[in-house]
Chains A and B, each alone.
Chain A
Amino acid sequence: MENLPWGIRIGILCIWLFVIPTVVGGCLWDGGRKGQGRHRRAFTLWVSGQMLLWAGFQLICVPCVLLEKSFLYVVYCYGGLVEILAFWGIVRLCRGGIFANLGRKVRAVPLRDGQENLPKNDKSVWREMLPAVIVGTLLVFQLAQAAGLAYADGDDAYYVAVSSITNNAETMYEKLPYTGGTTEVDVRHGLAPFPIWIAFLARMTGLKAVGVAHTAMPLMLIPMTYVIFYLLAQELFPDKRRKQLMFMIMAELLVVFGDYSFYTVEHFMIARSRQGKAALGSVILPMLLWLLFVLFQRVKEGKKCGVAYWGLVVAVMISGCLCSTLGAFLLCLFMGIAGLCAAVTYRKWRLLPPMALSCLPCICYAVLYLLA
C-alpha cells in the first residue's frame, strides 16, 4: 500500500470512511419511512453503517487486546467481518428496493411550512436556497479549518502514538506510547481501542497513522456530527425544511462559538476530533438522542420498533465503549433516565426491558474496566 500514489491511497481511505459504512448500513435497512428523501436515506445508511462497523471492531479488538494477540489478527478478523457485512448490506439493499427508486424523483419537502413547491421566480428560489447555502458554507469552512489548522493537545502524545505504534509494531497497548519500550498490556485503555481503529485505517490505506488521525478523522467526524444533527432536525421539525435548516445554522454557530471552556463537547469536536472521547461526545451521544426520538415517536403512535432499530441501538452502545471507557457509563445513564421518564410519561413499562437489555454490552465493558 505504501507504494501506491497518494491520490489512490486517499481514494481508498474515502471508500473506508464513506462508501463501506453506507453499504454496511444496508444490514439495518428497513425500507425507510414514507416521505424520506434520498439524501436522508443515504445519511441514515452512512451513520448506521459506521455504528455497525465500530461495534464490530470493538467486539473483535477488545478480546484480541486482552489475549495479547497481534494487530494483524485484528486486521484479518475485522477485514473478514467488513466483507460479510458489506455483502449482507448489498443483499438487503437490493431486496429492500433502494436501487429500484434511484432513478425516480422523490417528492421534495416544502421549504416553507405547509406550502408545496410551486414554480417560483429566481429571486424567491435564491431566498429559499439561502439557508442551505449558509449551512453548507459553514460546514466547508469548518472542514477547511480542520485540515489547515493544527491543535496542540498533549493527549495526542498518547492516543495518536498508540495508533502509530500499533500500525508499526503489530502489538496493541504493549508499548509505552510516550517513550517506547515494552510494558504489560494497558487493559484500561485497551477496553476503548479507538486508536487501534485509526491504525487499521492507516494499514488499509498505506497512509501514516498520524496523518489519518489528524487530518482524515476531523474530515469524517465533523460531517458525521452534522448529519446526525440533521437527522435530529428532521425529527424535531418534520416536513419543515426551512426550520430544519435554521436549526442547522444555529447548531453550527453554537459549535463554532462553543469554545467557552476547555471541557465542552464542541471544543473536543473541533479541536480534538481524533480522540475517541470527542467521537463519543459529538457523534455517539447525539446518535443515541436521535434514536430515542425515533423510539418515543413510535411509542406515541402506538407502533413498535423492529429488530433493525434495536440492533442499531446496541451497535451505538457498543460504539460508545469503543470511543471511551467512560462511554459505557454515560450511555447507560442517559438510556436509563430517558427510559424511566418515557415509561412514566407514556405509562408504558414494557419500554424498559429492551432498553435495559441494550445496555448489557456497556455493563459488561464497565465491569471489565472496574476489574482491570
Chain B
Amino acid sequence: MGIEHAIVLFREYMGTGLVVIWFLVCLIYLFLKEERKEIRILLVYVPMILLILFFNPLFAGIVAAHMGDEIYYRILWLLPMTVVIGYTCVMVAGRLGGRKRILFAVSAVIMTIVSGKYIYTNAYFGRAQNLYHVPDSVVHICDAIEIPGREVMAVFPLEMVQYVRQYSPVVCMPYGREILVEAWNEWAVQNRLCDVMEAETVEAGELGRLAREEGCIYIVLPENKVVQGDLQEAGYEYFDRMDGYVIYRDKFFKELRN
C-alpha cells in the first residue's frame, strides 16, 4: 500500500473535510498556546506523530500487509479529535469575556452542526420494529418455521438474509450475507439458487429442484413475486403467509415427520 492509498483513505475518512480542518486548526492553536505539558504531549505531539506515520509509505505498507489495507483508516481513530476540538473551544471561550464568550460559544455550536453531519439522518437508520432491531417479518417467519430440538434449512429473499441468523441461530440458509458483499460477488454469481430466487419471475420447477438439492425445508418468497409454474408440483406446499411473505414447506418433510 502506497501513500496514494493512504490519501484516498484519509479523504474518505474526512467526508466534507470541515471537521478535520477544524481539528487541524485546533491542533495548531494548542501547539502555539498550550502550556501544560501533559496536554501538549497527548493532544498535540501524539496526534502530529500519528498523522506523519499514517502518511508514511513504509509504515503504511507494513501495517497494511499484516492487517489489511481496507482497515488501515482505523489508525485515525487514535486521533483524539473530539477531545482536541472540545478542549480548544472551551479554552478559547474561557479567554474571552462577556458577549464575546457567548458569541464564540454559539459560533462553535453552529460550526459543529454545519461542519458535521447529523448521525440520525443516515439512510441506514430506521424506526426499530422490536427490541431485537430486526424486521418483524424475520421474527414472525423464524418463529413459525423453527422446529424444536433441531436446525432447519430455509431459503430467504436477499433483503432478509442478514437478519435471519441474528435472530434465530437454528435457522440455516444455503447462502447468507456473504452473497451481498461486493468483494465476494464472484461466489455470488455461482449461486444458482440465489439467481433463481431473485429473478423477476421465479421458475417454480427450477426453484424446487435447487432448494431440495440444498436441503431446504422451507422457501420464503415475497407475496408480490411472480411464480411461473406450480411449486406444489416441484415438491413444496403452501405453509403460511405473513408480513408480506409466503412460506412454502417441503411436502416430503411432513411425511417424514409423520
Contact = CB atoms under 8 A, between A and B. Distances in A.
A264 B23 CA distance: 14
Contacts of A280: 77
B40 A210 contact: no
Interface residues of A, number: 81
Which secondary structure dominates chain A's binding surface?
helix
B190 interface: no
A167 B168 CA distance: 11
Contacts of A210: 132-134, 166-167
B38 A326 contact: no
Contact of B89 (A147, A150, A177, A250): A250
Contacts of A208: 132, 167
Nearest to A244: B90
Contact of B13 (A246, A247, A263): A263
Nearest to B175: A179
Interface stretch (B78-86, B218-226, B234-242): B78-86
Contact of A345 (B37, B66, B169): B37
A148 B131 CA distance: 8
B26 to A, nearest CB: 11
Interface string A148-172: 1111111011101100110111000
Contacts, number: 247
B29 interface: no
Contacts of B89: 246, 250
A267 B16 CA distance: 15
A261 interface: yes
A352 interface: no
Contacts of A168: 169-170
Interface of A: 113, 145, 147-154, 156-158, 160-161, 164-165, 167-169, 175-181, 208, 210-211, 213-215, 229, 232, 236-237, 243, 246-247, 250-251, 253-261, 263-267, 270-271, 277, 280-281, 285-286, 289, 292-293, 296-297, 300, 326, 329-330, 333-334, 337-338, 341-342, 345-346, 370
Sorted from nearest, which 9 A-B pairs have the closest CB atoms?
Answer: A180-B172, A178-B176, A257-B116, A260-B15, A214-B133, A296-B38, A157-B177, A150-B133, A250-B86
6 contacts: A210-B133, A214-B134, A254-B82, A259-B122, A263-B73, A296-B41
